[in-house]
Structure 1
Amino acid sequence: MRSPWRLALAATGLLGTLLAVPPAANAVTDEEPPLEYVALGDSYASLGTASTHYTDPETGCVRATDNYPARLAETLDPATFTDATCAGAVTGGVLSSQTAALTPDTDLVTLTIGGNDIGFGSIAAACGAAGMTNPLGSPCEDRFTSGGTDQLADRVAATAPKIDAVLADIRARAPHARIVVVGYLRILPPALGCWPFVPISVGDVPYLDGVQRRLNTMIGDRATAAGATFVNPGETTGHDACQLLPWRRWVEGPVPVLDAAPMHPTAAGQAHVAGLVAGAVETAATTAETG
């Protein structure tokens, strides 16, 4: 499959040849430069259908063969695809291990990171436990905003320079690569929720949804500042973990009905993200080809 991204690279390479070689020596070929794609990130990038999860024997990282990077690779048909994603990863882990997969020849990098830095898992556990005994209140918001300071907003702000460091390291190791930073799929609806299926109190649902939107906004701002492309799958409503029809969920609930990890993207969710990223890559390729 000849993707728009590779066609753009081919056009760029052909232009360089025409400028560097005397006219008599020019020869037009159908060869394309290889596309080298490396995926980085945490479990929202690494996990997919639970039955396809596997553990990398070298790193111990849990990944799936149908996560969004793998689905994107099927679309782009790269010459090389390296999935360095790792469930549970934080920004420091990306810097210490995952970016080692990058080289100066890397053409495309995708990155999903930041959720574990603010404590996605511990927040869900604490807010779920509080919601079990106070379904109509806002015990989680009360806890994290006590004393007049929003602790989760502070965590998001503190993660920004860590993402800057990851993006700077990516650019240093892969100076010519297109970097696509991917936000998080929406976990909760804007209001009400679905207690007790997802045991978040009614009053806490808009607060926690706001925290996630704040996180995605911050990630997008840091991506833009670094000259990267940002894809935000969290903008769409109607596919959160509270959807009554399982096939409408892009994120599974705490007790999986679908073949997905708890509170993680479903197969449909990963497919949606892959489509968004493919669209962003195609747009970038078209711009490069015509610009």
Structure 2
Amino acid sequence: MRRLLPVLLAALSITATTGTASAAPRYTEYVALGDSAAAGPLIPNQDVLHLGCLRSTRNWPSVLASTLGVAEFRDVTCSGAVADDFEGGQTTFLGAVPPQFDALTPTTDLVTLTIGGNDIGLVGAALGCVNLLPEPVGLSCEDRLTAGGTDQLAVKIDAFADEFGAVLDGVHARAPRADVVVVGYGTYIRPGGCYPVQPLWGRDSDYLQASIDRLNALFADQAAAHGARFVDIAPPSVGHDVCAPVSRRWFEGLVPTTVAAPLHPNQRGMAGIGAYIADSLPASAS
């Protein structure tokens, strides 16, 4: 037994060391960039030091940071942000905020970003699709936005490609060792919609979601071309759209059922998205 004791202690030491190594955080310095889809306007609790950005302390970047156990987390997501605000700064209803790129450093090893919805006017387009009465009373937003054979949203989305690629290059230049993760937009509404639960005609609902899917495809292409990873949250959010039962919704409709902004993720959605992104990342930092 005396001879076995040193062997057992050595084995326990090796096991403890291995366990500690495997539990080491994948990332140590995480920066979250983006717009309201990441910021979480109105979701309690709001960041009181940066109220102009309407940023929740329980948004999906916060969920992700907590899940990953990062030592340093800087969340500069800001509602209303467009791609230009990453480098040029943003003016909110409470004043100016610094460029989001300022949060990046050479030691940053994880960056997430969600941007583009405001650049192409997604929320405005969705609001323009509201019809309080069923067809044929009213005007289809799909008909209006594709009149003359030109899809106005598709044109804006396609034109955003180069600008989005430049954003990714800007991130790499400022955080050269970081894993850069592009997070898309979700499945906000199911095929055919759910009129009148959400006052969007079926074909207009399909048009809006197809436009979101087109933007997500752009993200995937540009991420591949600019050394970034794309996480598509559209598949896991199927069944959690604005038509789903309130207890299953990840996104609020035109009339919110929880404390969250219309047409944005709610707290349940933020938790689900954050967990899905965490599971989508590699087991160890690259």
Shorter-chain TM-score bucket reads 0.7 to 0.9
Whether 1:42 and 2:35 are equivalent positions in the alignment is yes
Structure 1 residue 76 displacement after superposition: 1.2
More helix by share: 1
Question: In the alignment, what sits opposite 2:209?
Answer: 209
CA distance, structure 1, for counterparts of residue 21 and residue 262 of structure 2: 34
Give the conservation status (yes or no) of the 8 Å contact 2:53–2:77: yes
Counterpart of 1:263 in structure 2 is 263
Work out whether residues 29 and 109 of structure 2, in 8 Å CA contact, stay in contact via their aligned partners in 1.
Answer: yes
SS in 2 for 1:235: coil
Give SS of 2:74's match.
strand
Give the deviation of 1:48 after TM superposition: 6.2
| 1:182–1:204 distance in 2 versus 1, CA, 3 Å | same
Q: What's the offset of the Cα at 1:116? A: 0.8
- Aligned position for 1:113: 115
| CA distance in structure 2 between the partners assigned to 1:147 and 1:165 by the alignment | 31
Query: What is aligned with 1:150?
Result: 151
Determine if contact 1:46/1:85 at 8 Å carries over to the other structure. Answer: yes
**Is the alpha carbon distance of 1:263 and 1:114 closer, same or farther for their aligned partners in structure 2, counting shifts above 3 Å?**
same
* Matches of 1:82 and 1:42, distance apart in 2: 15
Q: Is the 8 A contact 1:45 1:69 kept in 2?
A: yes
1:185 and 1:3 map into 2 onto residues whose CA distance is 35
For residue 5 of structure 1, report the CA deviation from its aligned partner: 9.0
1:187 is matched with which residue? 188
Taking the aligned partners of 2:30 and 2:142, their CA distance within structure 1 comes to 40
TM-score, reference length from structure 2: 0.83
Instruction: Label 1:8 to 1:50 Cα distance change in 2 as closer, same or farther (>3 A).
Output: closer
Change (3 A) 1:232 1:185: same
Aligned residues: 256
Task: Give the TM-score of the pair, scaled to structure 1.
Answer: 0.82
Offset, 1:109: 0.3
Distance (Å, rounded) in 2 between the aligned partners of 1:212 and 1:8: 31
Counterparts of 1:5 and 1:111, CA distance in 2: 26
Q: Please say if residues 136 and 202 of structure 1, whose CA atoms lie closer than 8 Å, have aligned partners that are also in contact.
A: no
Which one-letter code corresponds to 1:140 in the other structure? C
CA contact (8 A) 2:242 2:251 kept: yes
Distance in 1 (CA, whole Å) between partners of 2:260 and 2:113 is 21
Which residue of structure 2 aligns with residue 99 of structure 1? 101
Q: Deviations over 1:92-144 (max 9, x none)?
A: 1122210110000101000011111110121012111xx22454687111001
Q: Which amino acid aligns with 2:235?
A: E
Report if aligned partners of 1:241, 1:253 keep a CA contact under 8 Å in 2: yes
Structure 2 distance, partners of 1:261, 1:2, is 41
Give the secondary-structure state (helix, strand or coil) at the position aligned to 1:230.
strand
CA root-mean-square deviation: 2.3
Do 2:198 and 2:253's aligned partners in 1 also have CA atoms closer than 8 Å? yes
Q: Rg larger in 1 or in 2?
A: 2
Change (3 A) 1:75 1:123: same
**Alpha-carbon distance, 1:80 to partner:** 0.8
SS in 2 for 1:90: coil
Q: Counterpart of 2:197?
A: 197
- 1:257, CA displacement in angstroms? 1.0
The superposition leaves residues 223-272 of structure 1 with CA deviations (integer Å, 9 ceiling, x where unpaired) of 111111110111242111111x1111110111111222211101121111
What is the rounded CA distance, in whole Å, between the counterparts of 1:48 and 1:241 in structure 2? 17
What runs of 5+ residues in structure 2 fail to find an aligned partner?
1-18, 89-98
Match of residue 173 from structure 1? 174
Structure 1: unaligned runs, 5 residues or longer: 10-34
Q: Indicate the SS of the match to 1:81.
A: strand
Matched, 1:71 2:73: no
Q: Identity percentage over the alignment?
A: 44
Query: In the aligned structure 2, how far is the partner of 1:63 from the partner of 1:274?
Result: 15
CA–CA distance in structure 2, aligned partners of residues 273 and 81 of structure 1: 18
Secondary structure class of the residue paired with 2:132 = helix
The structure 1 segments of at least 4 consecutive aligned residues displaced by more than 6 Å after TM superposition are: 1-5
